[in-house]
Each structure stands twice: as structure tokens, then as C-alpha cells.
Amino acid sequence: MSEEAKRPLWTSGQAMAATGGMLIGEPGWTATGVSIDTRTLEPGDLFVALQDARDGHDFVAAAMEKGAAASLVERGDTGVEPALLAKDALQALRALGTAARDRSSAIRVAVTGSVGKTSVKEAIAAVFRAAGPAHWSVKSYNNHWGVPLTLARMPRDSERAVFELGMNHAGEIRDLASLVRPHVALITRIAPAHLEHLGSVEAIADAKSEIFEGLEQDGVAIYPSDDALAERLARHAKHSCAAFMLDFGTDASAAIRIESFETGLDGSRGVANVLGIRAPFRLAATGAHWAWNAGAIFAACAGAGLDARDVAEALSGVGAEPGRGRAVRIALPGGGDFTLLDDAYNANPVSMAAAIEALGSASPTGAGRRIAVLGDMLELGLDENRLHAALADNLAAAGVDAVLPCGRRMKHLHDALPNNVRAGYAQDAGEGLEQVKSMVRPGDVVLIKGSNGSGLHKIASVLVDGTAFGLTEA
């Protein structure tokens, strides 16, 4: 743990004042972090016993054994001290987050969208870190507990902070945005994700636009000019308290414009025009959709007061995250290697089409082929069968040589494919891994993509670490 991470974050008195709770046991503790999970808890953390999928009170003793400074509980019967007793642990965590927000002068950026929000958030965080003391959401902590937890962890001296806001239903973004109260609110893109709950892409756009409602006075609202629903997003922004509206994209009228963009297995490069300032940039990630992501990154950083040229310089040192468009060379047991396009983090029809396009732009070596290993796309509602089958057109346009669909929903894609590109069909990720291992050969470029629930990220993981072929110990 770094020295910065060990600096005091909450004293017992501050935590009590923020939450309105009651101290039990020794009152003079100081927490250097906040945790809700004993598996990742660090010594000195304040452990918050949330009642979610599991009751956090069952783990209070384990948290204290691992070195927690104290526990925040809503039951006084754990028998473990010191503790901070509150009526509701989640509401107390939200109160900690609100207090952390209000005591810091950090410029807060909130990111949402159907596609790219985690990748964009991670890149913005890297740029912010290069510019000074920064804070950011770890992983995809973007829900009803992840956002307040991220806020509660924010050091007082942070200069900039970026938060990811996620949703499944209307109203969720509104609540999270009211908690973060961002100075800059960004929507990356609208896509048919969560159709099962919201019913239409227009409803999705409306739900994502709730982020603008949480803006601080004189804030910045950012939306994609190239999106089919850009005008709808802009209307929502106009009805917020935003003092500035910025759009980004490839359109000549966009405030933040990607003038040129090239991508390949070695990464991507382009030129951004940010309010008249031209900034050449490089990215480690591959895929044409990263032009869209780059526009969002430059726009958010401009809203946070950073010079476009400094943003470009910081981005050049940012590596592609696992599961989000990185290209990895993987050795084969019999000699040679293949390239894995690891885009396995999540999927919906728009991001799947972008990943397939990236595969189509890749160049196999020797006798290598373009292979797509695709998992189920979840939460698409009544139209899910058609949306899965429709990917056959994207695969044909990209010139993909072999397709391995994995999962019940992907059976509809398998049935829509011509026989010459059918590489098989797998019921699940475990079966899919065995088929991938038997089919891949030197020079291949293999795309792996699916929703988290499909499990395809597990295939990517064991291919990357070498355990799939027994090249390293399991």
C-alpha cells in the first residue's frame, strides 16, 4: 500500500458526525480506507457491514481480525468493537460519501452510457492522476453501493475525481448523480442495452440523461454528436442547470472532434481537435470504436480544465485494460502464437458490432484466420433472438473466417450463419474453451466477447495467463 493510501481518511469523530451514528467501544480510532468486502479489506479500513446479497454483519469479526480500524454496523449484537452503530448501514455509507464530497474541492466528473463507460472512466482517471492528486471508481463500482463507497473513499485533497454511474432501471442514474453532484456529466453513447427493463432506446437515452439533473450549478454537460439520439440528449442537457454543453464526435460541427483515427493490433492513433486546439494522440487499445471513446475522454478532460495536449501525452502511457480491447500475443504449445482480441468484459449489439469490426480490420499472419468467439448478450428483452441472429451480417461484412457462438441465446446466431463459417457451437464458456483450444492455430486473430453473465471473460483469462494450454501452473 502506498503512503498516500495510508493517510488518515476518517477519524471516529468525523465518521460519527457524518452518519449521525453512535460510537461503541474505544472512540479514538482513525480509518485510512473504507471497505465492504473482507476479501479485499486492507488494514486500517473502516468495514461497512452492508446487508445485500449476504449480511455483512456475519463478517465483522473477520474484518477486525484482518486489521480493520472499526466496523460500521446497524446491529449492536456483533460483540466486536470498536464500532459505529447506525440505523441503516447503506444510508450511513451514503452519508459518508456526501460528507467526503462536501469537504473536498475536487472537480467531479460523472460518466455513464450504454457503451464504453468503464474504458472511458479508466482513461480519464489515468489523465487525472498525471495532472495531480486524483480519485476514481475502481473496477465497475457504479451501482447503489459502489458510488457512495467511491465517494466515501475520496481523500480531502483530491484535485479531480471521476465516477462511473450504471443502471438497469429508470431513476437509478438520477439518484446516483444527485449523490455525486458532478461538475462535468458525460454520456458516452446510447445503445440497446437494458431493453428488457426499459423497452426502447429512447427510454434508455432518457434514463442516461438523468445524469445531467445532478449537475452542479454552472456545470458542463457532454454528449456524443454522432449518436442517433444526440438531439434527445441535448434537449435533456438544455433543461438542466448546465452552463456549458459540449458535444464530441467526428462531425465537423462537434466541439471536440476526432479529425483522424487509425487502429490496428499495435494500438490506435489519431488527432483530436478540442475547441480549436489540435492534439495528436496514441492509445494502446484497438478498434474503430476507440475513436468514439477518445472523443469522450478529451471532452471530459476539457470540462475538467485540462489542456488537450497534456491529455494526449497522458493517454500515450495508458495500457489497454483486460477485457476492453487489448490485443495479446499468446504462445501455442506446438510453437508459434496467435493474437487474442480481449474484449470480453461486456456486450450489447452496438459494442458487439464494434468489436467485430475491429476483428475485421486485423490482419492474421501466415495461414491464420479471423475467429470470433461470441457469448450471449443479456438484458435485451423480447427482441433478443433477432438481435443475436443479426450479428451474422456484421460478421459477414467483417470477413470473419470462423465463428464459435457460446450460450443459449447465441444459438440463434449459429443458426443464422452460413455453413462455411460455423466453427461449432458451445452451450457455455467451459465447453467453449475446449473448442477454442482445439481450433486455434498459429497466425490466428481471435476475438472473445460476451456479456459478463456469459462467462466468456473466463476463457480470455486462462488464455492470457497460459493455464489453458498448461504453459503455466494453474
How many domains does the chain contain in total? 3
User: What value, to the nearest 5°, has the Cα angle with vertex 116 and ends 141 and 435?
Assistant: 95
Q: Which range among 72-76, 108-112, 214-218, 345-349 shows the weakest confidence by mean pLDDT?
A: 345-349
Q: Is the pLDDT of residue 4 over 60?
A: no
3-state secondary structure string, the chain? CCCCCCCCCEEHHHHHHHHCCEEECCCCCEECEEECCCCCCCCCEEEECCECCCEHHHHHHHHHHCCCCEEEECCCCCCCCCEEECCCHHHHHHHHHHHHHHHCCCEEEEEECCCCHHHHHHHHHHHHHHHCCEEECCCCCCCCCHHHHHHHCCCCCCCEEEEECCCCCCCHHHHHHHHHCCCEEEECCCCCCCHHHHCCHHHHHHHHHHHHHHCCCCCEEEEECCCCCHHHHHHHHHCCCCCEEEEEECCCCCCEEEEEEEEECCEEEEEEEECCEEEEEEECCCCCHHHHHHHHHHHHHHHCCCCHHHHHHHHCCCCCCCCCCEEEEEECCCCCEEEEEECCCCCCHHHHHHHHHHHHHCCCCCCCCEEEEEECCCCCHHHHHHHHHCHHHHHHHCCCCEEEEECCCCHHHHHHCCHHHECCCECCHHHHHHHHHHHCCCCCEEEEECCHHHCHHHHHHHHHHCHHHCCCCC
Residue 474 lies in a domain: no
- Dihedral sign from CA coordinates of 232, 238, 239, 243: positive
Beta bridge partners of 374: 405, 449
Query: Where does a domain end: 289, 315, 341?
Result: 315
Residue 457 lies in a domain: yes
Query: Where does a domain end: 60, 89, 118?
Result: 89
Q: Are both 116 and 47 inside the same structural domain?
A: no
Backbone φ, ψ for residue 416 (5° rounding):
-85, -10
Beta bridge partners of 24: 83
- Residue 242: which pLDDT band, with cuts at 50, 70 and 90? very high
- CATH number of the CATH domain containing 457: 3.90.190.20
Beta bridge partners of 290: none
Residue 1 lies in a domain: no
Q: Are both 265 and 288 inside the same structural domain?
A: yes
- Residue 21: which pLDDT band, with cuts at 50, 70 and 90? very high
Strand order of the β-sheet with 402-406 is 326-331, 337-342, 445-449, 370-375, 402-406
Residues 191, 201: contact at Cβ < 8 Å?
yes
pLDDT tens-digit profile of 350-389?
A: 889 989 999 999 999 999 999 999 999 998 888 899 999 9
Q: Are both 47 and 143 inside the same structural domain?
A: no
For residues 5 and 270, which has the higher predicted lDDT (pLDDT)?
A: 270
Annotated binding site: 113-119
Annotated binding site for ATP: 113-119
Q: Are both 277 and 172 inside the same structural domain?
A: yes
Q: Are both 370 and 295 inside the same structural domain?
A: no
Backbone φ, ψ for residue 161 (5° rounding):
-145, 145
Q: What is the pTM of this model?
A: 0.87
Give which of 356, 349, 344 is closest to 399, Cα–Cα.
356
Average pLDDT over residues 204-213: 96
Spell out the residues 6+ positions from residue 469 whose beta carbon is closer than 8 angstroms to its own.
331, 332, 333, 437
Torsion of CA 96, 102, 105, 106, to 10 degrees: 50
Q: Are both 111 and 67 inside the same structural domain?
A: no
Q: Are both 114 and 85 inside the same structural domain?
A: no
Q: Are both 72 and 108 inside the same structural domain?
A: no
Residue 99 lies in a domain: no
pLDDT tens-digit profile of 431-465?
A: 999 999 999 999 999 999 999 889 999 999 999 98
Residues 377, 352: contact at Cβ < 8 Å?
yes
- Give the separation between CA 167 and CA 176, rounded to whole angstroms: 9
Q: How many CB atoms lie within 10 A of CB 52?
A: 11
Predicted pLDDT at 472: 56
Q: Are both 52 and 156 inside the same structural domain?
A: no
Q: Which range among 107-116, 285-294, 389-398 shows the weakest confidence by mean pLDDT?
A: 285-294
Output the nine-digit C-alpha cell for 266.
Answer: 499495435
Give which of 408, 416, 411 is closest to 391, Cα–Cα.
416
Range of the domain at 360: 326-469
- Residue 393: which pLDDT band, with cuts at 50, 70 and 90? very high
Average pLDDT over residues 324-348: 90
Q: Are both 161 and 260 inside the same structural domain?
A: yes
Predicted pLDDT at 352: 93
Output the nine-digit C-alpha cell for 466.
Answer: 497460459
- CATH number of the CATH domain containing 28: 3.40.1390.10
- CATH number of the CATH domain containing 113: 3.40.1190.10
Residue 368 lies in a domain: yes
Torsion of CA 149, 154, 159, 165, to 10 degrees: 0
Q: Are both 117 and 85 inside the same structural domain?
A: no
Query: Where does a domain end: 63, 89, 115?
Result: 89
Output the nine-digit C-alpha cell for 282.
Answer: 496514441
Q: Are both 149 and 260 inside the same structural domain?
A: yes
